[in-house]
Structure 1
């Protein structure tokens, strides 16, 4: 078995990645709710009433979607009074994105406490990244807010099957720092495998693939850049100079007269806005 032979960290990284590429490690299927709702949305005969019935049968999902009734995702003069109103105004793409983002959290199952702890920490970071991504999307006009939310959640999706696969490798260190480092190194390429299997668009796959490629060069800003900048902005201890010199930031906002001052102002503005999105995503506070 794989667990019988202790490996160096480099050898383990190579072995794990190849297991995913060859289909030997389990790549999670797209969540059942997301598949079922996507199927309904693909059928032009599906009514809002049908969608409402399906979603109401999953109370946590219904409650989650109702939280967006007063969010910037739904720009309308009329208030939403019930789930049917929310679904009618969300539209196909927004609903697809929100359901997939909500369902992804339940893809990780493990009985090992060290793996559970690392997963919880990384998922909380993903929620914060999604909140900051939504705030940036409202400023950059690069993508819709719901695309940015989903991209922020899925940038680190590769960590979920990686942590699950590590149950087969009990000889690998369960120290949190070691597990976090392994996720940082492999989440991107494994995430690209997962999102490709889920038939996500290339721009979304690139969000995972380039998650730590901080010096990447590109002709124009992309969703991957936006989520990279969100990842940097959520790091309170990150020096302002480092963010101001980020290639992703300079692509996202190419006409900044003073990137350093912009960074300091942007952080201040985004903290309050991010708190709103974090509440919608189910996080009480960044420190909780």
Structure 2
């Protein structure tokens, strides 16, 4: 069949729309496919880049997981890092732990949070370091990813406080790491200039792979299964747990969708009645008080 060619009045040829779409699709595939194939090869060979928590945070987690350790042992470790100490004190004074008095030192902060629950607090206040990069090509993206993760984590924590059986600390961590799978993909993309030059292609790859990769990373890090599930399933808008109790996937999914309010992201115009998580939560609307509490938790993490 002869290909149709159209001309403008000045004689310049106009490419038919279907031909242009096919050509653009071929170009997209030629850029995306090699990148995705390489990611899958890295996964099989266990060569995927894994971000790590700061050394002192890992040391604090070892102390927390040691049944013979005391609050005093934990205090000694945390006190060696002024930044970690300050963040944990702010965390203990946040809306997640309302107390009669403002805490000013690490010992009462640990007491208020609780020795075992400090684990999630350490994860929360240390996670910012995981989102740092020296790669200039993706630095702005990584900063946006951290800001989004903080918003989702804070929102999830506040929502979880109002659900029976859920822990706000776990919800906060689940929200902070829900997109953790994007980090190794962004780092790897730096070796693929065409991916960096075409952000819409990179967005498609991130959407396709980040949940599976995120769940795998958190499994390797030995995170709580609830947190792993939230990272792996939060984009599944057809998820329907039936009569099962509200869980952390629900709160992270709702928090993630709500985080896009007022933007041009597709989730901003999503019909929320079609997402089961919204009807499963007792309170899933961004009213003023919810926003105010969320902002206070965000401030602790930045």
Q: What count of residue pairs does the alignment treat as equivalent?
A: 268
Partner residue in 2 for 1:233? 258
Partner residue in 2 for 1:157? 180
Partner residue in 2 for 1:180? 203
Is contact 1:129-1:234 (8 Å) kept? yes
State the 1:110 CA deviation.
3.8
TM-score by length of 2: 0.79
Structure showing greater Rg: 2
Q: Distance in 2 between matches of 1:77 and 1:109?
A: 36
Greater CA drift, 119-128 or 171-180: 171-180
The equivalent position to 2:189 in structure 1, one of 166, 184, 188, is 166
Partner residue in 2 for 1:46? 69
| CA displacement 1:35-62 (0-9 Å, x = unmatched) | 2112111223323233222112111111
Task: Indicate the RMSD between aligned Cα atoms, in angstroms.
Answer: 2.5
Q: Distance in 1 between matches of 2:275 and 2:164?
A: 19
Is contact 2:149-2:179 (8 Å) kept? yes
Partner residue in 2 for 1:136? 159
Q: Distance in 2 between matches of 1:128 and 1:242?
A: 21
Is contact 1:17-1:190 (8 Å) kept? no
The equivalent position to 1:206 in structure 2, one of 229, 238, 243, is 229
Q: Distance in 2 between matches of 1:10 and 1:252?
A: 39
Partner residue in 1 for 2:300? 280
Greater CA drift, 113-122 or 48-57: 48-57
Establish whether residue 105 from structure 1 lines up as the match of residue 125 from structure 2.
no
Partner residue in 2 for 1:257? none
Greater CA drift, 109-118 or 195-204: 109-118
State the 1:79 CA deviation.
4.6
Is contact 1:114-1:174 (8 Å) kept? no
| CA displacement 1:162-201 (0-9 Å, x = unmatched) | 2122233334233444433432322111111110101112
Q: Distance in 2 between matches of 1:203 and 1:77?
A: 31
The equivalent position to 2:274 in structure 1, one of 245, 248, 272, is 245
Q: Distance in 2 between matches of 1:105 and 1:266?
A: 25
State the 1:273 CA deviation.
1.9
- Written as runs of structure 1 = structure 2, the 5 A alignment for 1:17-166 is 17-77=40-100, 79-108=102-131, 110-166=133-189
Q: Which stretches in structure 2 are left out of the alignment for 5+ residues?
A: 1-28
| CA displacement 1:212-264 (0-9 Å, x = unmatched) | 111112232321111000111122235677123311112334xxxxxxxx76x
Q: Distance in 1 between matches of 2:197 and 2:277?
A: 33
Q: Which stretches in structure 1 are left out of the alignment for 5+ residues?
A: 1-5, 254-261, 283-288
TM-score by length of 1: 0.83
State the 1:77 CA deviation.
4.4
Change (3 A) 1:184 1:248: same
Change (3 A) 1:174 1:239: closer
Counterpart of 1:173 in 2: which secondary structure?
helix
Change (3 A) 1:241 1:208: closer
